[in-house]
């Protein structure tokens, strides 16, 4: 079997690692793989957003399955192009991917289908947004409607902050085309979690819930990033929550997509706020999340590949029950100094051999490249350091031990990933 993985970040490294375990005899290919992925897959020198070029290459190489990691190729219609050529691909069509590529579309669909979410209004004109903000009490959440690499949602504690965020998006084009339309929402109180679900368009197979940490600073302070760490499972969640999310959120959305003649097949990721009235949707993504994938997949005992193949080939996943190992996984992201703003690249990375040989520590590459003497930094988020343990405390200790042992100039990370799951006495903050 020949499998092509599109993308070369931490999420894709984790996917490749898992799929390699599921099918050790398969032949894997990856677009411009990072140094961590390179030993596991043949390189394909095409950009992940070169959707026509990738389809032509996959057709010529007789690829049996293509898996898309990042959101941009999906928004650009890679699934449509592959399916026209009868090439199996795991991921939604461009029309279905609007659940992520247009927050305005997603909010309207949730409203029509009765899916619980925050009250909102959409705007394309600064003057209208300004009037709305002045007429509504803070806190408010201002979001770029389009794709903004996980950084397009700004929680504003004051009216002035909301006005500034809206002004930057609509008048100053701070987020480019992604901010031409904005969504202004009520602020939801609660704890935020991430839930992945594989779907064939009608049936839903949820994976383990996890919790991401978007903000750069300890205790969830500072600007949003693409994610500074995650852990799974989330110990505070009631077991019946997964069933409730499936019945009240996933199934109504999938039904609405099918009725709109844009059925969704692939990975639907729901960002959820656990409010006093129940789970409400913060946003949908149409692919595996980063950094949650790095924490969820190491706990999955059953084969992921079986699910992906069935969906990509147009089959049913009804009755599939995923199995997960006991214990926990915690992912600490090592970032470049200055991220999510300006940062330097090309800095040498040293990973001690004992970390690589530790079976309870996984190191997934993200923003790395091959230098003259080994890997160097090439992005804002550089490495994911995933600790595995019998419980979350043990997983956190292993992750932090690895995070501290890896060296590169300007290394920065949050030492408090998972802090909500621990008592104040055991929290690493401070």
Residue 149: the pLDDT is: 75
Strand (E) or helix (H) holding 267: strand 266-275
Q: How many residues belong to the chain?
A: 430
- Residue 425, pLDDT > 90, answer no
pLDDT tens, 95-132? Answer: 999 999 999 999 999 999 999 999 999 999 999 999 99
Residue 151: the pLDDT is: 75
pLDDT tens, 219-241? Answer: 999 988 999 999 999 988 888 89
Q: How many other C-beta atoms are found inside a 10 Å radius of the C-beta of residue 336? A: 23
Query: Bridge-partner residues for 283, per DSSP?
Result: 271
Output the average pLDDT for the chain: 95
Residue 93's nearest CA partner among 262, 284, 340 is 262
Residue with tokens 């008592």: 423
Residue 153: the pLDDT is: 87
Provide mean pLDDT across the span 402-425: 90
Q: How far is CA 395 from CA 9, 113, 384, in A?
A: 22, 39, 13
pLDDT tens, 174-194? Answer: 999 999 999 999 999 999 999
Q: Which domains does the chain have, with CATH numbers?
A: 2-93 (3.40.50.20), 125-180 (3.30.1490.20), 189-312 (3.30.470.20), 328-421 (3.90.600.10)
Report CA torsion sign: 355, 361, 365, 367: negative
Q: Say what percent of the chain tops pLDDT 70.
A: 98
Residue 375: the pLDDT is: 98
Residue 423: the pLDDT is: 56
pLDDT tens, 45-73? Answer: 999 999 999 999 999 999 999 999 999 99
Beta carbons of 373 and 347 less than 8 angstroms apart: no
Q: In whole angstroms, how large is the CA radius of gyration of the chain?
A: 21
Euclidean distance between CA atoms 357 and 421, whole angstroms: 28
- pTM (2 decimals)? 0.93
Provide mean pLDDT across the span 296-313: 98
- Residue 430, pLDDT > 50, answer no
Residue 327's nearest CA partner among 393, 389, 397 is 389
Provide mean pLDDT across the span 80-104: 96
Q: At 422, is the pLDDT very low, low, confident or very high (cuts 50, 70, 90)? A: confident
Residue 427: the pLDDT is: 42
Residue 256: the pLDDT is: 95
Provide mean pLDDT across the span 202-206: 96
Q: At 368, is the pLDDT very low, low, confident or very high (cuts 50, 70, 90)? A: very high
pLDDT tens, 378-396? Answer: 999 999 999 999 999 999 9
């Amino acid at each position: 079997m020949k499998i092509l993985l599109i993308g070369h970040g931490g999420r894709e490294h984790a996917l490749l690692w898992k799929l390699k375990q599921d099918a050790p005899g398969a032949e894997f290919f990856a677009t411009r793989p990072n140094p961590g992925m390179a030993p596991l897959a043949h390189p394909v020198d095409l950009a992940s957003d070169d959707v026509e070029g990738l389809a032509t290459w996959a057709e010529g190489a007789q690829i049996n399955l293509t898996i898309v990691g990042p959101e941009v190729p999906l928004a650009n219609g890679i699934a449509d192009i592959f399916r026209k050529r009868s090439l199996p691909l795991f991921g939604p069509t461009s029309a279905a991917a609007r659940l992520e590529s247009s927050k305005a579309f997603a909010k309207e669909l949730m409203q029509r289908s009765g899916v619980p979410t925050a009250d909102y209004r959409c705007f394309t004109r600064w003057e209208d947004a300004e009037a709305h903000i002045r007429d509504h009490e803070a806190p408010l959440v201002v979001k770029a409607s389009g794709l903004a690499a996980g950084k397009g949602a700004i929680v504003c504690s004051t009216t002035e902050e909301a006005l500034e965020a809206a002004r930057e998006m609509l008048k100053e084009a701070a987020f480019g085309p992604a901010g031409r339309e904005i969504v202004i929402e009520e602020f939801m109180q609660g704890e935020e979690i991430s839930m992945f679900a594989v779907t064939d368009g009608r049936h839903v197979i949820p994976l383990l819930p996890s919790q991401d940490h978007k903000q750069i600073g300890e205790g969830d302070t500072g600007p949003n990033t693409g994610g500074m760490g995650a852990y799974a499972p989330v110990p505070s969640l009631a077991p019946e929550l997964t069933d409730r999310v499936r019945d009240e959120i996933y199934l109504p959305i999938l039904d609405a997509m099918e009725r709109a003649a844009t059925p969704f097949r692939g990975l639907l990721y729901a960002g959820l706020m656990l409010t006093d009235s129940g789970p409400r949707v913060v946003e949908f993504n149409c692919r595996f999340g980063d950094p949650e994938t790095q924490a969820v997949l190491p706990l999955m005992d059953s084969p992921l590949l079986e699910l992906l193949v069935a969906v990509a080939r147009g089959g049913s996943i009804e009755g599939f029950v995923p199995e997960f190992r006991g214990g926990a996984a915690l992912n600490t992201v090592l970032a470049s100094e200055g991220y999510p703003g300006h940062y330097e690249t090309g800095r040498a990375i040293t990973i001690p051999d004992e970390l690589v040989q530790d079976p309870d520590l996984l190191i997934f590459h993200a923003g790395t490249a091959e230098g003259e003497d080994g890997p160097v930094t090439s992005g804002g988020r550089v490495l994911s350091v995933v600790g595995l343990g019998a419980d979350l405390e043990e997983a956190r200790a292993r992750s932090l031990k690895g995070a501290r042992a890896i060296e590169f100039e300007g290394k920065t990370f949050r030492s408090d990933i998972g802090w909500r799951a621990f008592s104040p006495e055991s929290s690493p903050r401070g």
